[in-house]
Chain A
Amino acid sequence: MELFVFVCAAAMVLVGAIGVITRNNPVHAALSLVLTLFGIAVLFVANNAHFLAAVQVIVYAGAIVVLFLFVIMLLGVDRAEDLSTEPLTAQRPLALVVGIGVAGVIIAAIVKSQDALLVRGTGINSATLEDADANIRQLSRSIFSDYVFAFEVTSVLLLIAVVGTVVMSRRQRGQHVEESA
């Protein structure tokens, strides 16, 4: 059963990822990204990370992809891009070599150390019918005790990001006339 879930979710992830880099319409790429993100959420559930799976769907598939689509529509760049011509000579073969190299090095390290990873630990609480919030409790205990300072700092980070974006994309006075013309 677990094998079936893994194979299905892995297929979703890989098909979506290849879709992102090969579809020439940005809207299709964004929708492929949703497929990948849902596959990742399924794999999170398979690894007992129930809270993160929910957050993945809400934040990534919900908020971030909608933001992408919103910007695509706002800027009107939803035309298909011409992918048949290569802008730089040998860019794609070289990129493919680098990508396979990066993945190959990581996979070699995993294969070399796979004996250490054979045991599946049991220390992560799984959400069950009797104890539905076990995973959330365990995760929040970690965030609000060991990492409470980092948690507070992320609030500052979010505030800076919001203020920075508003300042950056605000129209200057006088620019308005020129743009509406």
Chain B
Amino acid sequence: MNLAVIEPTTSWYLVLAAVLFGIGTVGVMVRRNPLVMFMCIELMLNAVNLSFVALSASLSDINGQTAVFFVLVVAAAEVVVGLGIIVSIMRRRSDATADDLSVLKG
């Protein structure tokens, strides 16, 4: 088959998003630095955004892009609060990993 006529369908974008989500999941479970765990959460959010946009184009529905807009806003708020928490924890004990934070449990 001629390569020039193959067009990526929506499924390709969704599979890419699923793989990206899986990588983010592995990262959250494996990494112990809270900052890097945060970055992996951003990876997972981006995977979801990608599937929203791909399905929005596929189904001719602009509401998918609206959802991505709101996810972006919530992600920004989440990063601000999360990094604030990390800063105030790290100020007390500068070498904290996620394992050391188990003192937080009730």
Residues of A at under 8 Å CB distance from B? Answer: 2-3, 6, 10, 13-14, 17-18, 20-21, 26, 29-30, 33, 36-37, 40, 43-44, 46-49, 51-52, 55-56, 59-60, 63-64, 67-68, 71-72, 74-77, 81, 87, 91-92, 94-96, 98-100, 102-104, 106-107, 110-111, 114, 117-124, 138-139, 141-143, 146-147, 150, 154, 157-158, 160-162, 164-165, 168-169, 179
Contact = CB atoms under 8 A, between A and B. Distances in A.
Interface string B59-93: 11111011011101111111111011111101100
A52 B84 contact: no
Interface of B: 3-4, 6-16, 18-27, 29-33, 35-36, 38-40, 42-43, 46, 49-50, 53-54, 56-63, 65-66, 68-70, 72-81, 83-88, 90-91, 94, 99
A139 B28 CA distance: 33
B22 A99 contact: yes
A44 B53 contact: yes
B86 A10 contact: no
Given A3-B3, A29-B36, A139-B69, A95 B57 contact: no
B70 A154 contact: yes
Contacts of B8: 2-3, 6, 46
A56 B67 CA distance: 14
B77 A161 contact: yes
Contacts of A6: 8, 12-13
B94 A33 contact: no
A70 to B, nearest CB: 9
A71 B35 contact: yes
Contact of A75 (B3, B68, B75, B90): B90
A59 B78 CA distance: 13
A119 B7 CA distance: 11
B81 A59 contact: no
Contacts of A138: 62
A4 to B, nearest CB: 9
Given A17-B43, A111-B11, A26 B36 contact: yes
